[in-house]
Amino acid sequence: MKNLFLIAILAAMTGGTVATAQKAEAVNISGTWQFSVDLDNGGHGDPTFVFKHEKEGLTGSYDGPLGQYALTGTVKDKKAEFGFEFTNEGETHKATYAATIESSTKMSGTVSFSGGGPSGKWTATKK
């Protein structure tokens, strides 16, 4: 009975250590990133994003084929979502990026545009 109790305590302690280690692995994506975006309609672009990542908040800028825009978003664990509004032919649209953060220098994901625009996939590396 004492052995089972000790095993339960050790398992709980190990789980706590693993959870702490996973939190320590959180990646901050602040900095300048070069994206390569391939749209489903055959379009391609290589925009630059600059991120400022604080806790779960994300701000920054987009500079690419659509122009220059401020962006906002969120980061939680190894996932991020961010976007910006832009005007095209007098109409306001939103670009929304979903990211999987692979490391402190690499991420990838999808992009979609409001108003029936194309969607696509992208990869990014930190400069």
Task: Flag whether pLDDT at 78 surpasses 90.
Answer: yes
Q: How confident is the model at residue 65 (pLDDT cuts 50, 70, 90)?
A: very high
pTM, entire model: 0.80
**String of DSSP letters for 17-48:** HHHHHHHHTPPP--EEEEEEEEETTS-EE--E
Domain boundaries, the chain: 27-126
- Sign for the CA dihedral angle at 74, 58, 125, 87 comes to positive
Q: What is the pLDDT of residue 117?
A: 87
Q: Which CATH number fits domain 27-126: 3.40.50.2300, 2.40.128.120, 1.10.10.10, 3.30.230.10?
A: 2.40.128.120
pLDDT: which is higher, 56 or 3: 56
